[in-house]
Amino acid sequence: MTNLQTLSQQQFGAHAQNYVTSAVHAQGESLNRMLELVRPQPHWRALDIATGGGHTALAFAPHVREVVASDITTPMLAAAEKFIRDQGVTNVTFQEAEAGALPFGDAEFDLVTCRLAAHHFPDCAQFVRETARALKPGGVAALIDNVTPPDTVAARHINAFEKLRDPSHGWQSTVAEWEAFHLAAGFTVMASETFRKPMDFDDYCERMNVPPHTRQQLRVMLKHAPASALEALAPECVGERITFTLTEILLVARR
């Protein structure tokens, strides 16, 4: 297990319930759009990689035969299972799994989803290859993740900002990089869309229990970002409240 994976287990294990209750993770324009584009079928068996609070697994559960919700972090899986069971959903099972080395056979699933997690993975290209391996021929992969602009200065600044807030952050790729990962793994990209996601700074920090001195550093990084990063993050201050914007990719591909 890599150091990044160990950090992810520590960070998300300690704050699992925060991700169950997070409005950012529970809903969103891109999640609804994912359902529209994927068009899940009643006979499908689906795998949700890095399920977190379980929101994506829950969204797809009514539309498929079975969802396997997987995560590398045991406390997160336990929190997701309680959350989903409390909704009365019974066709979701839970299994600990690493995104880059899935404990499943070849061609087991009709659908593989992953939402707002891949920027924590140590090797995103390997994750996409594992997704392809686990899918049946003709199966569908659906990804949502935060992305950076192609500008190198902006990408470095935004990733440093995310890493300061959460040490388990790995790297946010660009839209072009995600498309390339999928093409290299043998996928045909069916849809690639981006969404602007408004973020409340205090909520963003509370979710990971960021200490006050780090919050101040993050405020400085927002205020004094390079021009290209400033354009991407679009921070605004209204009184004591700070908001900014992250960009997501929604990519749907067929094996």
Q: Which CATH class is domain 3-149+168-198+246-254?
A: alpha beta
32 Cβ contact list (under 8 Å, min separation 6): none
Give the pLDDT confidence score for residue 224 in this predicted structure: 95
- pTM of the predicted model, to two decimals? 0.89
Q: How many angstroms from the chain centroid is the CA of residue 62?
A: 21
Residue pLDDT, tens place only, 5-37? 564 555 554 545 655 555 555 557 899 999 999
Sign of CA dihedral 75, 80, 85, 87: positive
Q: Return the C-alpha torsion angle 113, 129, 196, 155, nearest 10.
A: 150
Per-residue model confidence as pLDDT tens digits over 71-108: 998 888 999 999 999 999 999 999 999 999 999 999 99
Task: Please tell me the predicted confidence (pLDDT) of residue 107.
Answer: 98
Per DSSP bridges, beta strands 188-200 and 236-238 are: unpaired
Q: Which neighbouring-strand residues pair with 68?
A: 47, 93
